[in-house]
Amino acid sequence: DAGVIQSPRHEVTEMGQEVTLRCKPISGHDYLFWYRQTMMRGLELLIYFNNNVPIDDSGMPEDRFSAKMPNASFSTLKIQPSEPRDSAVYFCASSTQGRTEAFFGQGTRLTVV
Query: Which residues contact other proteins (rule: CB under 8 A)?
Result: 4, 31, 33, 35, 37-39, 42-45, 48, 50, 55-56, 88-89, 91, 93, 95, 97, 100-107, 109
Radius of gyration of the chain (CA): 13
User: At closest approach, how far in Å is the CB of 13 from other proteins?
Assistant: 18
User: At closest approach, how far in Å is the CB of 44 from other proteins?
Assistant: 8
Of 93, 88, 40, the closest CA to residue 65 belongs to: 88
Starting at the earlier edge strand, list the strands of the sheet with 19-24.
Answer: 5-7, 19-24, 74-79, 65-71
Nearer to other proteins, 74 or 103 (CB): 103
User: At closest approach, how far in Å is the CB of 107 from other proteins?
Assistant: 6
